[in-house]
Amino acid sequence: DIDFHNPHEKRMAKQAGTTPEERTSFRRLLATTGFRDTLREVHGEVEGVYSYWSARAKNRPFNRGLRLDYFLASPSASVKDSFVLEGVGGSDHCPVGVDVEAPGGVLR
C-alpha cells in the first residue's frame, strides 16, 4: 500500500489505520458512496506523501509515515488540487487540504 512507509512489515497488519479490514472498508466506502480520495485523484500513485509520523519514534524528519488523513470529495465537486502540508508542525499529524472550483474562482 503506497500510503504507508513500511507496508510489508508484519506489524502493519495490526496497526490502527492500516489493518486489512480498515483498508477494505475504506475502499468499499469510496466505491459505494461515490466519494473520491482527492489526493489520489489529482496525484495518482505518488509515493512518500504522508500525513502522520510517529513522534515517539521521531519518524517525521525521515518521512517514515502513514497517510491517515484524507480529503474526500463528493461526485459533483470540481477538485483542482489536493495536498498535504507536511511542513506544518505542532502535532504528529499535519493538515491536508484541497482546492475546488467554485463560482467566482478556486477556493482553498
**What is the per-residue pLDDT across 49-85, written as a single tens digit (0 to 9) for each?**
999 999 999 999 999 999 999 999 999 999 999 999 9
CA contacts within 13 A on the Cβ side of 8: 0
pLDDT over 80 (residue 30) = yes
Residue 18's pLDDT is what?
83
Are the CB atoms for 100 and 52 separated by under 8 Å? no
Q: Grade residue 91 by pLDDT with cuts at 50, 70 and 90.
A: very high
- pLDDT at site 61: 95
Average predicted confidence (pLDDT) for the chain: 92
Residue 32's pLDDT is 96
Which has the higher per-residue pLDDT, 6 or 29?
29
pLDDT at 63: 96
Q: What does the alpha-carbon distance between residue 96 and residue 67 come to, in Å, rounded to a whole number?
A: 10
